Amino acid sequence: MFYSKIEQLENNLINGQFKEALELLNSIEKKSGLSDDDILIKKYVQSFICLDNGEFREGYKMAQEMMKLAQESFNLLREIDAIIACVENGSQLSIINECLDLISQGELLLNNIDYMPLVQIKYREAYFYYLKGRIYYDMNKIRESIEYFKKSYKIRLDLKDTYGLIWTLYNLGTLTYYIGDFKASQNYTLESLELAREKKNLVGIIWNTINLGWVKYHEGDLEFTKKKAHDILKIAKKNNYKHIEANCYYLLGYYYLTKGEFEKALESFKNTLKINEQNNSINQIAHAYFSMGMVYDQKGELKKSLELYTKSLDTIGIDDKARLRPIYLVAIGKIYGELGEFEIAKKNLLEALELLHKEEIVILRTHRFNISIAKAYYYLIHLSIENDDSKNLENYLEKLYEINLKNSDNKQIDQIYRLTKGIILKSKERLRDKMQAALIFKDISKENIIEHEISIEAMVNLCEVLIYELELTGDLTILTEIEDLSNQILKIAQSQYLYNLLTETYFLKAKIALIKLEIDEARALLTKAQKIANQHELKLLANKISNEHDSILANIDLWEERMAMNMPLQERINESKHEFLFSKMIRSKIDDIPNNADDPIYLVILKVIDGHCLYSKSFEDIHFKDSDLIAGFISAINIFGKEAFSSSGSIDRIRHGEYLIIFQSKENLLFGYVFKGHSYSAMAKLEKLLFKITDNKQIFQELQMLANNYVEMSNMTKIELDKICDQYFIK
């Protein structure tokens, strides 16, 4: 029985079944005690259990204890195994130099052993090749890393070391993913996953499923990504695999970010951050900050984004600075550029480029070296043009051209190069250069979409050239071409859940409608744009759109006069391009849009059908005689506007003299708010009030009962509503 347990223990170790091995060792210890060798094996097993649980410091400590005991007992075999356990945990702690020294020490010991069976030597030789692959991978030396993994694969295949093959294939899958060979990545991952399932190796199944989720994420199969991430998250929580749990939240965060569900993305990245802080995983902490910064970047909250990007830069470990620093610098440079701090932006981008040229590759799930360096040049050129700094433009473009030549099979880099060349041509004064730029943008727009950001930038830049041509000629066919282009952008935005782009495109279409003197259509499109911005918490963009809508209302008489006189298109463009910012889309994410407040005048709650007043509150003296009069007025507005603003629960506005009025329906109730000033803050207040009232079941049910039965409101409910109104409308 004892010998069968030894055989069982060896089988557990070979197949990576460390928890089962520990249970077996504990049963042996309880029955007859452990030999010196068994004690060392137990330390080895415990170290790998810590590795699977993400407790890398504890695992590293356990392996060091094992090494010390092995050295004291002159057990070279177990000393080598302790070194393997140290490197496995140490690589997760990013102590790269220590790990390299340990591997060299282990290989030296292995070469000096002459009493071990060849199969045992080959087993550990393959393991050291595998560990070298891991370390060189962390050092960005990808070609060397792949070669070491392939050497490991060959030996493990000869040994029929299934457990070893699972992890060699898994790492080849992640490496080929990072260099952009998604087909090879999927093949390696599926082969590893099949072996893991065959051996019922749970950790192997988990990591391969996560990697497959990333491949599918890149291919656009987002629902597969979400399902697998949730499935693995449940398993990780059940087994207390904290490191795996953090990675699941990381994958889910990017899923939600891609879908435009920013709050869920933030929550996922915060969960990742919390777990990594508990495990003291420095580089993972840094990237959690970086990922959170990406959320705020997409939301247009640039200062918050910059704060988090800077925090990620300050957090990265010493051994990993070469890999991560340039990526973070590119992101920081881009943000400074959008904030108008050109010199700081330029400094960060140039430093990033200097580092990128030194390194072979930068590895992050969402960044690749050649793409990152090309993007860095793109941002630098784009910012230089916007800031009239043409001194080094041709030099930057030449560098980008060289990168394109070296990566001739990479269509993404080729598109970035041509897009950048087009932007330089567009910036020139001569019409011939602008038309040549338009041809480049048009070609990219018609090509298969490789990266949506590039295709969208080409379309937006083409749109701007066409607007320039329209301003020169007043040719109505150009306006039609701009509309067609905006429809293409709209489709991409809808299919890729790019809600900021969707909002901006509706905004552009509203401006086109205004130029065509289709005032109601322009307002309907602005309302749609604002609704999307509000739903997805694009606060700065929502504020900007609201201000533009207010501007139309303030000048409504002027627009109606233009309609009445049927003003020619050329004159409309000349008259409106300064008033309504027609010359460009909202592309700069200005972080300092004034958040002007509204002055509350009057609130009323009506029955939708006939405008019967259920509740009203005046915040100051007004010229209306009674609540029924203003109720009838708002009801009439609602009925008048239904055709244009028919979506249930939407807010819109109308001007009446010095007052602005917004309204929103909820089931059989209509809420109207009269105010002076800016609509954005007024809409936010009305939204909060509606949420508060509908959340209070007693008040909401009484309002519905009043609407159905024409009875007066109870004094208690009126007092409660007065308190709620004061809370939300009075500073």
Long-range CB contacts for residues 688-697, cutoff 8 Å, separation at least 24: 688/728, 689/603, 689/724, 689/725, 689/728, 689/729, 690/664, 690/666, 692/724, 692/728, 693/721, 693/724, 694/666, 696/720
pLDDT at 147: 93
Which of 18-32, 69-83, 238-252, 644-658 is predicted least confidently? Answer: 644-658
* Strand pairing category for 613-618 and 652-656: unpaired
The answer on pLDDT for 278 being more than 80 is: yes
* Average pLDDT value for residue range 202-214: 93
Q: Which one is predicted more confidently, 316 or 420?
A: 420
Q: What percent of the chain has pLDDT over 90?
A: 29
**Residue 679 and residue 662: Cα distance in Å, rounded?**
8
Report H helices in 474-600: 476-495, 499-515, 519-535, 539-554, 556-565, 569-576
The answer on pLDDT for 191 being more than 90 is: yes
Which of 18-22, 346-350, 661-665 is predicted least confidently? Answer: 661-665
- H or E stretch at 599: strand 598-607
Res. 270 pLDDT band, cuts 50 70 90: very high
pLDDT at 638: 54
**Residue 475 and residue 472: Cα distance in Å, rounded?**
9
* Average pLDDT value for residue range 141-153: 90
pLDDT at 612: 80
pLDDT tens, residue by residue, 479-532: 888 888 888 888 888 877 778 788 888 888 888 888 888 888 888 888 888 888
Which of 429-433, 446-450, 541-545, 618-622 is predicted least confidently? Answer: 618-622
Q: What percent of the chain has pLDDT over 70?
A: 89
pLDDT at 712: 83
pLDDT tens, residue by residue, 454-480: 888 898 889 888 888 887 887 888 888
User: With contact defined as beta carbons under 8 Å apart, do 176 and 217 qualify?
Assistant: no
Which of 78-82, 90-94, 149-153, 560-564 is predicted least confidently? Answer: 560-564
The answer on pLDDT for 60 being more than 90 is: yes
What does pLDDT average to over the chain?
Answer: 83
**Residue 171 and residue 169: Cα distance in Å, rounded?**
5
The answer on pLDDT for 618 being more than 90 is: no
pLDDT at 596: 62
pLDDT tens, residue by residue, 294-317: 999 888 788 899 999 999 999 886
The answer on pLDDT for 135 being more than 70 is: yes
Which of 15-19, 118-122, 624-628, 692-696 is predicted least confidently? Answer: 624-628
Task: Using CA atoms of 371, 376, 379, 380 in order, give the dihedral in degrees to the nearest 10.
Answer: -150
The answer on pLDDT for 677 being more than 90 is: no
pLDDT at 319: 56
Q: Which of 70, 27, 62, 17 has the alpha carbon at shortest distance from 44?
A: 62
pLDDT at 64: 95
Q: Which one is predicted more confidently, 31 or 89?
A: 89
pLDDT at 647: 40
* Average pLDDT value for residue range 560-574: 76
Res. 253 pLDDT band, cuts 50 70 90: very high
